[in-house]
A = this chain, B = another copy of it.
Amino acid sequence: MIKSVLFDAYGTLYDVHSVTKKCNELYHGRGMEISQIWRQKQLDYVWITSLMDKYKDFWSLTKEALYYSLEELGLQYNEKIVEEILNEYLHLSLYPEVMEALNNFRPRELFILSNGNLRMLNELVKNTYLDKHLDGIISVEDYKVYKPKPDAYDLAAKRLGLDKEEILFISSNGWDAAGSKSFGFTVGWLNRFGKPADRLGMTPDFIASDLKELAQITKSI
């Protein structure tokens, strides 16, 4: 019986590529290129530093990944521009169905579980008026461990005081769906873009193309 629903933030509730608009303003027409390299590098840096046992917080890694992206594309920048783009992470767009769909997961308690710093997540949630729709935010930050490490999912179970089977975890990121399933959560993979399933030896319990559909098919579990 599911008692709490945990949502990944970046890519799942929030469109990380909504930074494209600001990047296009600053670098005419290069927004999508910047955004795509930036997102891939951000994930790479999280994983590589984790494997190296050299923890660095998510805000800093996101900033380093942004510097790299601008450099790779040969774009001029200064600290003011970098901060301006980086601050878009505090104002990402919610995917259109999210606000309405969240209520369909009630009466369970609803939380975010994210690799982001707590400050980033708090500001983002507040800026997008999602704070009234959630029961809380769980950041991996205090534990200095990142998803998809098992400890990152375990800290959420401990924080909620629940068995892992009592938690439904939802992510659009294939690696996150695999990692959380491997840990032992009940998992919904939000396949927003009709991608093939990642071949990581783990099968999510539920698959849907948007959050409303996912709420529907997990209603009675």
Known A-B contacts A40-B40, A72-B195, A200-B45; the reply to A182 vs B67 at CB < 8 A is no
A95 to B201, CA, bound (A): 34
In-complex Cβ contact of A48 among B40, B53, B54, B178 (8 A): B178
Q: Which B-chain residue is minimally distant from A67 (CB atoms)?
A: B199
A4 to B47, CA, bound (A): 29
A27 at the interface (CB under 8 A from B): no
Q: Which residues of B contact A64 (CB under 8 A)?
A: 199-200
Q: Is B68 a contact partner of A198 (Cβ separation < 8 A)? A: yes
A52 at the interface (CB under 8 A from B): yes
CB distance from A213 to the nearest CB of B (A): 22
Chain A contributes a number of interface residues (CB within 8 A of B) equal to 32
Report, nearest first, the 4 A-B pairs whose CB atoms are least far apart. A71-B196, A64-B199, A47-B47, A48-B175
A53 to B152, CA, bound (A): 13
CB distance from A156 to the nearest CB of B (A): 16
Number of copies: 2
Name A residues whose Cβ lies closer than 8 Å to a Cβ of B. 40, 44-45, 47-54, 56, 64-65, 67-68, 71-72, 146, 148-150, 175, 178-179, 182, 195-196, 198-201
CB distance from A43 to the nearest CB of B (A): 8
Q: Which residues of B contact A65 (CB under 8 A)?
A: 199
Q: Is B51 a contact partner of A50 (Cβ separation < 8 A)? A: yes
Known A-B contacts A40-B40, A72-B195, A195-B72; the reply to A200 vs B47 at CB < 8 A is no
Q: Is A44 a contact partner of B150 (Cβ separation < 8 A)? A: no
CB pairs A–B below 8 angstroms (16 shown): A40-B40, A44-B47, A44-B175, A45-B198, A45-B199, A45-B200, A47-B51, A48-B148, A48-B175, A48-B179, A49-B200, A51-B146, A51-B148, A52-B149, A54-B200, A68-B196
